[in-house]
């Protein structure tokens, strides 16, 4: 764990003596928040750091939180929010939700660790909405009452989609802030007043510096995918943003891993946080099958075409942006409707490509690591590491696109002779024991085992030239991989361009404001043509605005 020493873990639902019920003064003179631990409104950083250190233990001493509450109502989630969840078919809390909600709803600072897909989003959205409703304030122009920070635009957009029905039920206004689009609509939304702002750090700092946003009224702050923000170099900006929020506000930090970078934030900004872990730091999903295919370079594209042309959604990861673009083009040329997702795409193109993948127009998403965190699409049957990642955390986060919410999934890593040593070290560090198979081409029977079903190819794949009609489909029992040669994966380490300073959240992904909620659970592929293509950077056919604002007053 790289030396991380988190605060004492809360086990079960009993309250430790150090977290005895008290009251916390809200920001800017708000009434006390019942049930929260007492907190000095302006404690010095050094004193707060010492207080945090008192409650630190070794990570090896942490145990998985056990909370056997079987419903959101039993966890004291307000009835109107429970009704919203039930209407969406969400009735049973996930382990991370059951673990954290009693403390977060009581107003305590929470440090939660759970793998991608564990349900962290509702674990922080529910207490955020509940707190704002309880305080019954009105958002002033340019002064949000709650702030949710996330590393990528797509993740901001997906959180926003989950938040909208919860906010609408309680008359709360919401908006998103991220770079890569014009800021004027975002400024206008801030001026109208937003209860909850969901933002990427860079653009938010821009607007703060220009005087459009003031965080002095923030009652609760959330950091989602905090470790990913650290990986992208956003921590200095995150620290500056947190310093602008009231020190007596509630803070919730959620992360897939807890390491030294996160420890810096915990020590400075969280007050006596309660730590909850939903699973082991390196625990692979129990229903996820891991396989390594040892291939020759000449077999790479034929094998990928065969795997991706099977029924079900497929996510293919490459190491570089150029590699993702090239591979998506090769798959489309070979008859696999594909889109790409990487930092070189415009915001409209990212939104359009994700919508094509959500809807089933595209059955394969070729992405760099920007899609490895937080991007949720139902029923991804197969994840393929066309380029093996360089570190085990990236492997686990990439693989987390499948086997979500208890579903089964398969993860395949393509390995050439030159990569044998690196892949063995990677899987060992990730704590998995994959099945390794020597594959000489697309006719190998293992491919049908990993991706069963009839192979379906669409001439031309997915192109902009076919706006609505479905192209003629060709079908055959087993593809021989007629994708041609070439290596679309590329080399190098183009994870994305993080920054240590302010400015826009450039380089890192994603369709924020216009994202559709994770939908389409149909596992059978729809090979229809559409108005989007992976490598194009044209405007979105959906016509989404640059900034997203939802007002339900």
Where along the chain do its domains lie?
A: 42-281, 288-476
- How many other C-beta atoms are found inside a 10 Å radius of the C-beta of residue 484? 11
Which tens digits make up the pLDDT trace of 242-288? 999 999 999 999 987 777 778 888 999 999 999 998 754 444 455 67
Confidence of residue 163 (pLDDT cuts 50, 70, 90): very high
Residue 364: beta bridge partners?
Answer: 314, 338
* 491: nearest Cα among 357, 353, 386: 386
Tokens of 126: 């529910």
CA 258 to chain centre: 16
Provide the CATH topology of domain 288-476: Rossmann fold (3.40.50)
- DSSP SS3 for 348: helix
Which tens digits make up the pLDDT trace of 173-186? 999 999 988 999 99
59 phi and psi, to 5 degrees? -65, -25
42-281 and 288-476, same CATH topology: yes
* 364: enclosing H helix or E strand: strand 364-367
What CA–CA distance (Å, rounded) separates 193 from 551?
A: 9
CATH number belonging to domain 42-281: 3.40.50.300
Which tens digits make up the pLDDT trace of 376-400? 676 788 999 999 998 887 887 788 7
476 CB burial (10 A radius; 0-12, 13-18, 19+): exposed
Contact 305, 386 (CB under 8 A): no
Q: Is the pLDDT higher at 48 or at 423?
A: 423
Confidence of residue 136 (pLDDT cuts 50, 70, 90): confident
What CA–CA distance (Å, rounded) separates 287 from 447?
A: 19
Model pTM? 0.60
């Amino acid at each position: 764990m790289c030396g991380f020493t988190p605060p004492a873990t809360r086990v079960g639902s009993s309250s430790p003596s150090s977290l005895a019920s008290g009251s916390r003064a809200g920001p800017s003179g708000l009434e006390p928040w019942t049930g929260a631990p007492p907190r000095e409104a302006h404690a010095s950083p050094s004193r707060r750091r010492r207080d945090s250190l008192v409650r630190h233990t070794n990570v090896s001493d942490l145990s998985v939180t056990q909370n056997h509450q079987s419903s959101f109502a039993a966890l004291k989630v307000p009835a109107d929010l429970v009704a919203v969840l039930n209407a969406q078919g969400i009735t049973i809390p996930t382990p991370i939700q059951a673990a954290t909600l009693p403390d977060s709803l009581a107003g305590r600072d929470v440090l939660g660790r759970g793998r991608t897909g564990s349900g962290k989003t509702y674990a922080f959205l529910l207490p955020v909405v509940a707190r704002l409703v309880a305080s019954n304030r009105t958002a002033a122009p340019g002064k949000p009452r709650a702030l949710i920070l996330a590393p990528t635009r797509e993740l901001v957009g997906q959180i926003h989609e989950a938040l909208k029905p919860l906010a609408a039920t309680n008359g709360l206004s919401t908006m998103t802030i991220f770079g890569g689009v014009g800021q004027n609509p975002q400024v206008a939304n801030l001026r109208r007043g937003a209860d909850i702002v969901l933002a990427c750090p860079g653009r938010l700092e821009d607007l703060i510096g220009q005087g459009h946003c003031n965080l002095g009224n923030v009652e609760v702050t959330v950091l989602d995918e905090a470790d990913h923000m650290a990986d992208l170099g956003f921590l200095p900006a995150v620290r500056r943003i947190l310093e602008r929020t009231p020190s007596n506000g509630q803070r919730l930090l959620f992360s897939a891993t807890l390491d030294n970078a996160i420890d810096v934030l915990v020590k400075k900004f969280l007050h006596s946080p309660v730590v909850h872990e939903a699973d082991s730091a390196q625990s692979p999903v129990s229903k996820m099958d891991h396989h390594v295919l040892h291939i020759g370079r000449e077999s790479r594209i034929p094998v990928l075409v065969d795997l991706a042309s099977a029924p079900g959604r497929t996510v293919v990861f490459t190491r570089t942006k150029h590699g993702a673009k090239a591979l998506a083009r090769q798959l489309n040329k070979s008859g696999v409707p594909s889109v790409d997702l990487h930092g070189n795409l415009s915001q409209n193109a990212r939104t359009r490509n994700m919508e094509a993948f959500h809807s089933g127009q595209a059955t394969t998403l070729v992405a760099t690591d920007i899609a490895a965190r937080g991007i949720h699409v139902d029923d991804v049957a197969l994840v393929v590491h066309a380029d093996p990642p360089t570190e085990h955390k990236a492997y686990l986060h990439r693989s987390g696109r499948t086997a979500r919410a208890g579903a089964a999934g398969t993860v395949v890593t393509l390995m050439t002779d030159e990569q044998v040593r690196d892949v063995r070290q990677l899987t060992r560090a990730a704590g998995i024991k994959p099945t390794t198979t020597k594959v000489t081409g697309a006719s190998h029977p293992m491919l049908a085992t990993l991706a069963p079903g009839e192979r379906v190819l669409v001439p031309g794949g997915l192109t902009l030239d076919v706006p609505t009609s479905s192209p003629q489909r060709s079908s055959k029992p087993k593809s021989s991989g007629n994708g041609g040669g070439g290596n679309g994966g590329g080399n190098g380490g183009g994870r994305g361009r993080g920054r240590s300073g302010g400015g826009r959240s450039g380089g890192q992904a994603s369709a924020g404001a216009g994202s559709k909620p994770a939908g389409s659970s149909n596992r059978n592929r729809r090979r229809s043509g559409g108005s989007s293509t992976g490598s194009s950077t044209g405007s979105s056919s959906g016509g989404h605005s640059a900034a997203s604002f939802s007002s339900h007053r």
